[in-house]
Amino acid sequence: MLSKYDTLGEKTFDVLNYLVLALFAAVTVLPFVYIIAGSFATEVELMERKFFLFPRDPSLSAYYYIFRPPRYFAALEYPSSSPYSAR
């Protein structure tokens, strides 16, 4: 009966393949995690720490700044001046 791995080379290939895929996954996912963590950090923490996955003092101030009514909803009140807009 044949086992899952016929030779040592096949087992080595599988291990190296999993390591490369795990490294690729980490390199792909970490920038998104950093952006999300940065959105919950304070301005001071963003300036002081070069890289982090979890903010020391989580804050929603960036989201309050973006979604406060005078700035966010003002763009919805004025029609677009784009040449492609419907008239």
Structure tokens at 29: 């996912």
Mean pLDDT for 5-20 is 90
The answer as to whether 1 is a domain residue is: no
Mean pLDDT of the chain: 83
Q: Which amino acid is at 56?
A: R
Mean pLDDT for 19-29 is 97
Domain containing 55: what range?
29-76
Identify whether the C-beta of residue 38 lies closer than 8 Å to the C-beta of residue 59: no
Q: What is the pTM of this model?
A: 0.62
Identify whether the C-beta of residue 52 lies closer than 8 Å to the C-beta of residue 40: no
How many domains does one find in the chain? 1
The answer as to whether 46 is a domain residue is: yes
pLDDT-derived band of residue 64, with 50, 70 and 90 as boundaries? confident
* Confidence (pLDDT) at 58: 93
